[in-house]
Amino acid sequence: MNEKAILDGKAVANRIKDKLKTRVEILKESGVMPSLATILVGDDPSSETYVRMKGNACERVGIISTKIHLPEDTTTEQLVQAITDLNEDDSIHGILLQHPVPPQIDERLAFETIAIEKDVDGVTSAGYGQTALGFGTYPSCTPAAIMKIMEDYNIKAEGKHAVVIGRSPILGKPVSALLLNENATVTTCHSRTTNLASHVRQADIVVAAVGRPEFIKGEWIKEGAVVLDAGYNKGNVGDVEYEEAAEKASYITPVPGGVGPVTIAMLLNHTVDAAEKTLN
């Protein structure tokens, strides 16, 4: 496999962020300070790291990052109230609730409280429904990243057979819908799919989103297929056997440095989109 076959997510993300800096400057000249509020409940170290990364990414392009850190024993009602307050704050353009929340909280109810015009992370059922129907403003950020990588590398979905392994409401399901909207023929598989290998072997486009290290074997990949690995597991390992799959794939995303950087860039992009809408 030559270097051209690697889908460089860092490069895609940098191109997005370079454009965002200009858009943010224009917004500020118009009196709008684009702002993303991130809510963290509890003290999960991984979540704290993710929130810090997102905050740093915001600051690098000029987006104001507002962090709300609630204690571990926060109730559903308290979290819902915090989100409601942000919905009503005109200075906040996007709201992100860091997953997971402590077990006593009804996470779905909390997600649904986010106003759809501020749902820049694509977690509400209304946002998912609009994405599936083809007019969603802010699809979930990882599916949006996958589609952006394909767009940047001029990889067409139309007429291709895409196999998505994973069915989560913020990754597998919405990316299946986005690919279908681009006229791909989509098969959605998951960890309990019978004869998974036979499905993957038919795929022109493979989206790995199952959350299990090296679950998709390199030998399953069809010669010339495009592999987009959205998995990120302990030890910097994706959901696909990278070295083996890379021998067959025409394009493949590395882990890390593939889908991940673009996911954060799309979150920033959605936040700036939301801020720009306030000018209309």
Binding site for NADP(+), residues? 166-168
- Among the listed residues 116, 90, 99, the one whose alpha carbon sits nearest the alpha carbon of residue 38: 99
Peptide bond into 169 cis (omega under 30): no
Gyration radius of the chain's alpha carbons:
19
What are the CA-CA distances from residue 273 to residues 19, 52, 260, 269 (Å)? 12, 22, 20, 6
Instruction: Give the Cα separation of 24 and 268 in Å (integer).
Output: 10
- Return the DSSP state at 153: T
Query: Do 232 and 262 contact (CB within 8 A), yes or no?
Result: no
Query: Do 13 and 72 contact (CB within 8 A), yes or no?
Result: no
SS3 for 185-217 is: EEEEECCCCCCHHHHHCCCCEEEECCCCCCCEC
Report, as residue numbers or ranges, the catalytic residues: 54, 98, 121
From the number of C-beta atoms within 10 Å of its C-beta (0-12, 13-18, 19+), residue 149 rates as buried
**Beta strands across the sheet bearing 35-41:** 64-70, 35-41, 94-97
Query: Do 209 and 165 contact (CB within 8 A), yes or no?
Result: yes
Pairing of β 205-208 and β 161-165: parallel
